[in-house]
Amino acid sequence: MASPVARKISQAYLFVALLLALLLAVLPYSVVVLFLLVAHAWSAYRPLESRLHLALTFATLLVLPLALGDSVLGHYSVLLLVPALPLLDWSLRQNAHNQPLEQSTGWKATGVLTTLVVALLAVLVVSVVLSKWVLAFAVALLSGYLAVLSICVFRAVPGAPLQVSPTRLRVVAGHTSQTSVTVESKARIQVHAQTTPVHSWLSVEPQRLSIGSTGAQFDLTLTPPLSGPSAPGLQVWMTDPWGLWQRAQQVHPVQLYVIPRARYAEWLARRFLSQSAAQPVRAALPAPTASPRLPRRGVEYLGSHLYQPGDSLRDLDWKRMCKMNQIVVKEYGGSTTGTAIVAANMVVKDPEEADTVAYDLITLVLTLARLGTPMALAAYNHRDILLATEALDPREVLKRTLGVAHNMTIMGQEQRFLQAPDIRRLARNLAQLEQVPSGPAKRLAALLGLEVEAIRRSAEDHPATRALARVAARVAPPATIAVVSARNHDMEALAVALDNLSRQGYETMSAGRNARCRVIRLS
């Protein structure tokens, strides 16, 4: 590699050679030499981009002997290029750092080498046609220089130059982990590498690095799925220090052991059961009467909505009523204590989703058990109710959850489900349309009425509706209802059931990963 001193000397030499060519060259070569001289002076004052500096240096080495070929030096002017080669070496090395690499297998010429070879061939053809043999000698000198560099690359870089000692890593599926990996090079020269993860859930920093005799280090961040491979790969494209040749190699930096989320949550739950003593259930809550008193509102402002039958008149939002010219009420929420009802949909589309739903279910029940909250459990699939309990001791509910979490039903992807309907919004739109006397509004209201009625009828005998109704009949308010579901076959049933619960005084909020859990709170 050219040292900074050698580069400075070579750069000064090339500048002096251009001044000499400017004095000895004839038109039109002197104009070209003057342009190159100004460009080199500007690059010394303000450095150019690496590719522009390489192009300028390469063009200068071709023009310089051509400009001096008609002088007293004659064909010997080609020898003036030899002291300037360290500057070309430096330009190639600087350009190789950030040179884009193409996908390839085995050895392949980079874009820089291809461009240089094409340029040399074009100049060679022109020199033969115009009988400028000094230019042909310059082409031969530069071609020999590139050939020597290529031979050095092939001799110094083996077929698979990178060597990585895999790091053993245990990761829970869906959780993010980071690790540092050291890569060593068996090449006798430095190589520049560009890394690209083979899997979308794997990322690497930095993506470009230089690997010498002491090796290099990069950081991996991975969030593996349940079906992730045990040895995820990194595709590495390498180039030599001059950026002339490249080759690809795939490395496997980690030996990955993916722990299913459900198994990890089950381990946490069993450890909690073994370390904790049985806690007595709170005093039994009174059974609901035929005409229960409406629950109190919360204390936290959640938003505003159009008036619905059952809304309290003291929650009127006067400011929005003046702006919208409609009856608007404020919606409040707040934290209350009571029994928790956990409803779980045990139907999923694949093992990955089954692992996620089981993890969400177990961790939800485990969290409530650690808080000592009495719970009732309702589990259902697309055909029937699997489990419906009354309010039990948290440890007992956790035990039953561990048993039911293994009863997942995988339906596959034969059926596709649309977004869950918003029953309250449909009812609100229907009420607004019914107030408009026009014919199109009445026809649209009839269509919306048919849609709402169809949704309600399909949800009447659904296992989700029956499971929620059966458990809610055994648990009196105040209570919290948490639904863990992949939102597939039960979307419409849950929409209707939650809307009915809201009309009875329930408050709703979303919780859980990817909105998989929805929490309904009775105040």
Average pLDDT, the chain: 81
Contact 211, 190 (CB under 8 A): yes
pLDDT of residue 143: 93
Instruction: Give residue 421's pLDDT.
Output: 66
Of 515, 448, 459, the residue nearest 489 (C-alpha):
459
Pairing of strands 339-345, 234-239: unpaired
As a whole number of angstroms, the distance between CA 60 and CA 42 comes to 14
Which pLDDT score is estimated for 290? 36
Using the predicted structure, report yes or no on whether residue 121 has a pLDDT greater than 90. yes
Give residue 432's pLDDT.
73
Q: What span, in angstroms and rounded, lies between the C-alpha atoms of 298 and 300? A: 6
Inform me whether the pLDDT recorded for 22 exceeds 60.
yes
Question: CA Rg, the chain, in Å?
Answer: 38
pLDDT band per the 50, 70, 90 thresholds, residue 418: low
- Looking at residue 102, what is its pLDDT? 77
> 281: pLDDT confidence band, cut at 50, 70 and 90?
very low
113: pLDDT strictly greater than 70: yes
In this prediction, residue 412 carries a pLDDT of 67
Tell me, what's the pLDDT at 302? 65
- DSSP per residue, 31-50: HHHHHHHHHHHHHHHSPPPH
* Residue bearing tokens 């003046």: 322
285 pLDDT more than 70 = no
The two three-digit tokens of residue 226, written as one number: 């349940």
> Is the overall model pTM greater than 0.85, yes or no?
no
| Whole-number pLDDT of residue 279 | 47
Q: Which helix or strand (DSSP H or E) is residue 303 part of? A: strand 300-306
Task: Indicate the pairing of strand 347-348 with strand 409-410.
Answer: parallel
C-beta pairs of 440-447 under 8 Å, 24+ apart in sequence: none
The rounded percent of the chain whose pLDDT value lies above 90 is 21
The answer, yes or no, to whether residue 507 has pLDDT greater than 60, is no
Q: Is the pLDDT of residue 92 over 50?
A: yes
**Structure tokens that stand for 419 in this block:** 């977004």
pLDDT at residue 18 tops 90: no
Name the residue with higher pLDDT: 308 or 294. 308
Tokens representing residue 493 in the block: 């049933």
Distances (CA, A) of 366 to 23, 265, 372, 400: 88, 9, 10, 12
Paired tokens of 16:
């002096």
And the tokens for 179? 């690790």
Domains of the chain in start order, with CATH, are: 4-156 (no CATH), 162-259 (2.60.40.10), 300-333 (no CATH), 337-522 (no CATH)
Determine the Cα–Cα distance for residues 202 and 178; give it in Å rounded to an integer: 10
- Give Cα separations from 243 to 252, 264, 472 (angstroms): 25, 48, 71
Q: Is the pLDDT of residue 286 over 60?
A: no
pLDDT recorded at residue 267: 92
The three-state secondary structure class of 2 is: coil
**What's the whole-number mean pLDDT along residues 441-447?**
74
Lowest mean pLDDT among 243-257, 259-273, 307-321, 462-476: 307-321
Segment 346-400, tens digit of pLDDT:
998 888 888 989 999 999 899 888 888 888 899 999 889 999 988 888 899 999 9
Rounded-to-integer distance, Cα 468 and Cα 476, Å: 13
Residue 310: per-residue pLDDT: 61
Q: Can you give the three-state secondary structure of 186-234, one letter per residue?
A: CCCCCEEEEEEECCCCEEEECCEEEEECCEEEEEEEECCCCCCCCCCCE
- pLDDT given for residue 500 in this prediction: 73
Residue 73: the pLDDT is: 73
